[in-house]
Amino acid sequence: MNINDLEKLLSQKRLSTYYNLFPTDKGKAIEYYRLNTQISESLYPLLSNLEITLRNSIHNSFTIHHKSDDWFSQFRQPELFDQVNVAKRKILTGHNPMTADKVIAELTFGFWTALFNKQYAKYF
């Protein structure tokens, strides 16, 4: 694929970081863009496993602390409560049994990062 077609598909703005690195060599800039994509792809399994182990560790700790594996059902904070309900609806839509493990698996990474926002510290 030629550079002009690639610019139309990806946008010059997206490629501008690489063009700034190699202002006189668009070919080299595109090569670095592709290398960056390959590096990102290679990191995905590590990040995925990190997310899984982190959320399961948090779940295990909160289960012990709250003496319940559905500790997330006790939320009174609308943002967290809503995210838990979205996860539960997704489970029910798939006709799966509702279990704590399924809810934990369905919660997004955004939920887990929000859970540790300063505003919720007093609840946990």
Phi/psi at 24 (nearest 5 deg)?
Answer: -110, 5
pLDDT of residue 92: 95
CB atoms within 10 A of CB 123: 11
What pLDDT, on the 0 to 100 scale, is given for residue 123?
Answer: 66
Q: What is the pLDDT of residue 124?
A: 63
pLDDT of residue 74: 85
Question: In the prediction, which pLDDT does 77 show?
Answer: 85
What pLDDT is recorded for position 119?
81
Return averaged pLDDT per consecutive 10 residues of the chain, 124 residues in all.
89 94 95 96 95 95 94 88 95 94 95 86 68
**Buried b / exposed e across 31-60, counting CB within 10 Å, b at 16+?**
ebbeeeeeeeeeeeeeeeeeeeeebeebbe
What is this structure's pTM? 0.73
Q: Which residues contact 51 (CB under 8 A, 6 or more apart)?
A: 109, 112
The tokens of 106 are what? 């369905």
What is the distance between the alpha carbons of residues 28 and 31, in angstroms, rounded to a whole number?
5
Confirm if 80 and 114 have CB atoms less than 8 A apart: yes
Instruction: Name which of 61, 70, 71, 55 is nearest 108 in CA terms.
Output: 55
